[in-house]
Amino acid sequence: MLKNVAVLLLDEVHPFELGVLCEVFGLDRSDEGLPVHDFAVVSAEGPHLRTHAGFTISTPHGLDRLEEADLIAVPASGNVMTKTHPEAALSALRRAVERGARVLSVCSGAYVLGAAGLLDGRRCTTHWRHAADLARRYPTAIVEPDVLYVDEGQVITSAGTAAGIDACLHLVRQEYGQDAANTIARRMVVPPHRDGGQAQYISRPLPRNACDTVGGTLAWMEQHLDQEMTVEQLAAQAHMSPRTFARRFQQETGTTPYRWLLRQRVLLAQHLLETSDRTIDTIAGQTGFGTAATLRHQFVRSLGTTPNAYRRTFRGPSATAVADVA
């Protein structure tokens, strides 16, 4: 059970990433039936540290506090990619994993785990801007740049900034169940999970401004999710050959047309389940899945839950029986 949580800080720590860890693990929400952690912020470089935003913070806790932690989290720091990290901090991280504790990095905090040798032979991620550099720096790490987070058991790494929320809620869900994660997410006014639910890792939502030649086709696809689509049809829409279109699509979105379309359909289904009283059959037709059985299959594969269970979670027990208003 996760009881003792420590956040390891380096100089020029990023306040938002630190705040995410404090919000999820450091607040007392026992009034809502949630567990309370023995939480501490630990400095690796003296009691007073600068933040990346220019102000300073202080903490009375030194590296010895890490020895009793069940989880050690490492947020991003401004110079984490270029500086030499204190060996005492790296040794503490290694000892933690050796004794069975977990470590979690947010954004470029993955570099600290890499310097400690904890990414060797493991799948991991970081902010997409740093992924290639992380892979070069630690060549035995298996860097996955297109995910929000990667859970490798004792070592969890997350992508940039808000992806740290996803990773933390994932860990809460593992330790305490979905209700606990949902409660914290609602307090933070964020979704309990994004793309994949409790899957081991979650595909990163695609950046819209990264599209160059297929952007118009993506917009058309979003407006016609209820229709059947083939690569040949989409290629014609983009005035390309099917082979060129498939290659460009992969280059500009990081995924295939089928996977992109499937994800958008699931997203639309989530929205309709949360905001409307339409039946599952009607939603299946409007999202291009055709039948309730197909919608259920793809929903479970993507989110790890059924459409009805998802609707109950986000709309309450009264949503178990609804009328078709379409």
Measured between alpha carbons, how far is 171 from 23 in angstroms, rounded to an integer? 14
Does the pLDDT value for residue 133 go beyond 80?
yes
Q: What's residue 7's pLDDT?
A: 98
81 and 222 fall within a common domain = no
Has residue 315 been placed in a domain? yes
269 and 306 fall within a common domain = yes
Q: How many helices (H) and strands (E) does the chain have?
A: 13, 11
133 and 238 fall within a common domain = no
64 and 136 fall within a common domain = yes
Burial class (CB within 10 angstroms; exposed 0-12, middle 13-18, buried 19+) of 275: exposed
In this predicted model, what pLDDT tens digit does every residue of 269-281 receive, in sequence order? 988 998 889 999 9
Q: What's residue 203's pLDDT?
A: 37
148 and 224 fall within a common domain = no
30 and 176 fall within a common domain = yes
67 and 180 fall within a common domain = yes
Does the pLDDT value for residue 316 go beyond 70?
no
- Catalytic one among 22, 107, 124, 168? 107
The candidate with the shortest Cα–Cα distance to 17, out of 162, 145, 191, is: 162
Least confidently predicted of 19-28, 68-77, 203-212: 203-212
The candidate with the shortest Cα–Cα distance to 246, out of 259, 228, 263, 264, is: 259
Has residue 325 been placed in a domain? no
272 and 240 fall within a common domain = no
In this predicted model, what pLDDT tens digit does every residue of 208-229 receive, in sequence order? 434 567 888 888 888 899 999 9
In this predicted model, what pLDDT tens digit does every residue of 105-132 receive, in sequence order? 999 999 999 999 999 999 999 988 888 8
Does the pLDDT value for residue 322 go beyond 50?
no
Range of the domain at 51: 4-203
Does the pLDDT value for residue 202 go beyond 80?
no
Has residue 109 been placed in a domain? yes
Give the residue-averaged pLDDT of 17-31.
96
In this predicted model, which residue has the larger pLDDT, 257 or 161?
257
Q: What's residue 255's pLDDT?
A: 85
95 and 130 fall within a common domain = yes
In this predicted model, what pLDDT tens digit does every residue of 287-311 receive, in sequence order? 999 999 999 999 988 887 899 988 8
Q: What's residue 238's pLDDT?
A: 87
> Which CATH number does the domain housing residue 137 bear?
3.40.50.880
178 and 298 fall within a common domain = no
Whether the predicted model's global pTM rises above the 0.75 cut: no
Has residue 246 been placed in a domain? yes
* Percent over 70 (pLDDT), the chain: 91
Residue 107 annotated to the active site: yes
State which of 203, 222, 245 marks the end of a domain: 203
Give the residue-averaged pLDDT of 81-94.
92
> Which CATH number does the domain housing residue 235 bear?
1.10.10.60
Measured between alpha carbons, how far is 257 from 263 in angstroms, rounded to an integer? 10
136 and 194 fall within a common domain = yes
* Percent over 90 (pLDDT), the chain: 61
212 and 129 fall within a common domain = no
Count of structural domains, the chain: 3
